[in-house]
Amino acid sequence: MKKLKQSLLLAMILFGFISKAQTTDCNGVINGPALMDTCGTCHQAYVYDFVTHSVSFIDDTLGLVLGSTEMLVLPDNPQNPYWNDCGITFIQPIAIIKERELVKVIDLLGRESNGQKNKPLFFIYDDGTVEKRIIIE
């Protein structure tokens, strides 16, 4: 009986009666090449023609025959322009805010002023900013 079981198991392996584990890609294709990027977008593999620059998205690579000017681009290929990577975030450096100090006040002719009213004046600060003001009385 043991020999019969072993023979049946061997026959099943040789003739492919034991099925391989099948997975479904994010596009719903069994054993398909589509992958989900870190942003949650499902991307298909595609055939790119580098002469005509045409793109043909494909569901399966089984039996695919490429032409002499074509290449297969898988979803996670580093050269794939459609792939997104949201895993790394960039944090903008926070600018240090300090109180600016008034350096001087000048009039239109560049003369220092004490803040006269009803005349255009330029307030120059230590951070390089200049405010143009007219103090109206």
CB-based contacts of 71: which residues, under 8 Å, 6+ apart? 47, 48, 50
Cβ–Cβ contacts within 10 Å for residue 43, how many? Answer: 23
Q: Residue 8: what pLDDT?
A: 55
- Quick: pLDDT tens for 63-75: 889 999 999 999 8
Would you place residue 90 in the very low, low, confident or very high pLDDT band (cuts 50, 70, 90)? low
* 0.85 exceeded by pTM: no
The residue extents of the domains of the chain are: 25-90, 102-134
Determine phi and psi for 28, rounding to 5 degrees: 85, 10
- Quick: pLDDT tens for 95-120: 677 788 999 999 989 999 887 888 89
Take residue 99 and report the two structure tokens written for it. Answer: 């109180």
| Amino acid identity, position 37 | D
- CB 39 within 8 Å of CB 75: no
- Quick: pLDDT tens for 27-54: 888 888 888 888 888 989 999 998 999 9
CB-based contacts of 54: which residues, under 8 Å, 6+ apart? 48
